Amino acid sequence: MLLRTLGTAAGGGVPQWNCACPGCAGARPHPGWRRQHDCLAVLGDAPGAWCLVNATPDITTQLQGQPELRPAAGQKRTPLVRVLLTDAELDHTLGLFQLREADRIEVLATPPVRAALTEGLHVDRVLAPYTDLVWRDLPPHGEPPVDLSGLQVSAVPLSSKRPRYAAHADEHPAWSSAVRLHDPDSGTTALYAPALAAWSDTIEAAVADADAVFLDGTFWDDDEPRRTGISRRTATGMGHLPIDGPDGTASHLNGIGARCLYTHLNNTNPLVDPSAPQHKELAALGLAVAGEGMEISL
């Protein structure tokens, strides 16, 4: 399978339109700092049949930026066949509305994510006059996976953190999941988890079983959202386990065999500065930040 990062930022991107924090101010004059909302393009064994994990507000730019994802000659001959969703957050789903010119959009999601999009964002009702929106269940890992262009795909449920617009919806373990992609031909597995609220046996086992892991890199440390003034809550309180610190994700990933790359970076994260010393700290642990347009072949 082929994986390509089309974006690696958290909600707002880098720079965020209304922000002049050091990360955003640094990114305005420096294209090398800029990051679009996190999205992974995936190609299985069917040539020209790509899927995206998450549909971001940057989706049309992200597709334009990839020659293989541009339409072929003729009308509406797009190589984008489906979208997989890790959660129902706005930064991962608003792009669905921008796909309305398609004849058909296939979307795979867990039941609470589908319900939030249907009942909270009214995606079905809004898109129905424009396109044929086809839902498919993203089964929990352990149940039979769906076969998508030669890849076995499932969801590893990570947390019951709901989007703010669905704050009153019911608890469910699969509000936020890692998308697990397994290639039975090569025997390789990739895990895409841009929102991880807590370290658990579930994520521990899923990471141990993977060859490549894209993990929540929203915040460097737990106090970052409070220190930078974006929230009164800690990173953990916002549903994003930080990278650094005694229970930070870096301490859990240290020494594991998989290639681990952080994604979904918030603009407050010092790692958005390519010269930040924190990059060396990660490198010493065998970890790194995912770059924009990075490709991994597994």
- Which partner from the list Mn ion, ligand MLT, Zn ion, none does 239 bind, CB cut-off 5 to 8 Å by kind? ligand MLT
The two structure tokens encoding residue 74? 């003729």
Q: At closest approach, how far in Å is the CB of 78 from ligand MLT?
A: 26
Strand partners, 178: 156
19 binds, among ligand MLT, Zn ion, Mn ion, none (CB under 5 to 8 A by kind): Zn ion
Residue indicated by tokens 């959660």? 87
**Between residues 19 and 90, which has the closer beta carbon with respect to Zn ion?**
19
Cα distance between the two ends of the chain: 5
Q: Name which of residues 20 to 39 contact Zn ion (CB under 5 A).
A: 21, 24
Instruction: Out of 267, 271, 287, 290, point to the residue binding Zn ion (CB under 5 A).
Output: 267
Give CA–CA dist 117/165, Å, rounded. 10
Query: Residues in the site for ligand MLT, rule: CB under 6 A?
Result: 10-11, 89-91, 164, 195, 238-239
Q: Which residues contact 198 (CB under 8 A, 6 or more apart)?
A: 159, 236, 241
CB closer to Mn ion out of 10 and 197: 10
Q: Which residue is nearest to ligand MLT (CB)?
A: 11
Structure tokens given for 48: 């020209």
Which amino acid makes up residue 221?
D
Closer of 54 and 267 to Zn ion (Cβ): 267
DSSP 8-state code for residue 219: -
For ligand MLT, the closer CB: 120 or 239: 239
Least spacing, CB of residue 228 vs Zn ion, in Å: 8
Helix (H, G, I), strand (E, B) or coil at 210: coil
